[in-house]
Amino acid sequence: MAKIKQPNTKRTPATRGGAPSQFSHSRIVVHRKVASESLRQLLRAPGTSGLVVVVIAVAMMLPALLLLLTSNLQANMGSVEKAAQITAYFYLAVPDDKALEVSERLQSMAEVADVDYVSASDALTEFSQASGLGATLQSLAQNPLPSALIITPARSSPDTANTIEQSLATFEEVEFVQLDYLWLQRLEALLSLVNQLGGLLLVLVAIGLIVIIGNAIRVGVESKREEIRIIKQFGGADSFIARPFLYTGLYLGAAGGLLACILLLLVLSSLGPAVAEVASLYDSDFQLIGLSVLENLLLITAAAGLGWVSAFTSVLRKIATISA
């Protein structure tokens, strides 16, 4: 009796690897189609979509601008500190050699970065040129201006400035000490407060955006209630129904983040000349620094992620309320 040859049912490696590959490819195709259709749906209603994008952009821009300005001030604090100096005025009777001795002793302190000596004659010359009273001052029998030391602290610390001030108080030749560092101390405290406010504002904005984007997504779900009900009748899963709305939230967030980056650039460009003018009054080369390419990408990504999370949290709850 002839043997019947059994068919070979052993799966080849190509067969084992082919099915998952085809399945992954089909999922990519489905996601691509859903993403394209979601984008077309947004473009069909430019007014509504644009309004939501503008709201997202403005909401993202405000805390980002606040944090960016404070980070600019902190990054440029070194240039601002050049104006934070200590001026020590000598008695009129103190000769130049005694004043120079004090200058040398101060220069040897670790807390002091630099000491500039301004003699009484140099002070009179500078004041004459600045005030335009040269002829009147030259007619005086005695120079009314004292010699002075302009001291630059080695570190931007109020403790360092106070240490130098206490050292100056031990010199009998010094009559008066003007500490220009107090305003910088107040500025640092103000920046700390603004940073905390910026972080709090960022949290509040994130919560507000979740509500705004969530409401927009829920309106879209409600407009497709009958379509969703029919899909559920044919066994469509909630994740399948929610997929286009998730892409919608992602697109809205990304577009809002991109617009926020553009608005930040425009605002910083408009503030640049005014900030430069104020910095020149303090003898500083302070300049506003905008977001880097990486920071712009992070802002757009954060906004897109926020839009996706908003859509995810709102659409699944809304779909669950629609019965098949």
**Predicted pLDDT at 195:** 78
Residues 190 and 301 placed together within one structural domain of the fold: yes
Instruction: Phi first, then psi: give them for residue 37, nearest 5 degrees.
Output: -65, -35
**Predicted pLDDT at 20:** 55
Q: Read off the pLDDT band of 125 (50, 70, 90).
A: confident
Q: Which residues of 296-322 are buried (b: 16+ CB within 10 A; e: fewer)?
A: beebbebbbebbbbbbbebbbebbeeb
Provide the residue range defining the domain that includes 235.
36-78+186-320
Residues 64 and 105 placed together within one structural domain of the fold: no
- The pTM for the full model equals 0.61
Map tokens 């809205």 to a residue. 252
Residues 172 and 210 placed together within one structural domain of the fold: no
Q: Which residues of 145-183 are buried (b: 16+ CB within 10 A; e: fewer)?
A: bbbbbebbbeebebebbbbbbebbeebebbeebebebee
Please determine, for residue 276, whether its predicted confidence score (pLDDT) is greater than 80: no
Of 148, 180, 212, which residue sits at a domain end? 180
For residues 291 and 75, is the Cβ–Cβ distance under 8 A?
Answer: no
Q: Read off the pLDDT band of 175 (50, 70, 90).
A: confident
Mean pLDDT of all residues in 31-41? 81
Of 129, 150, 180, which residue sits at a domain end? 180
CA–CA separation, 103 vs 100, rounded Å? 5
Query: Average pLDDT of the chain?
Result: 78
Which long-range contacts link 189-196 to residues 24+ away (Cβ below 8 Å)?
A: 191/70, 191/73, 191/74, 194/66, 194/69, 194/70, 195/67, 195/70
Q: Read off the pLDDT band of 16 (50, 70, 90).
A: very low
Q: Any idea what DSSP says for residue 164?
A: H
Instruction: Give the number of domains in the chain.
Output: 2
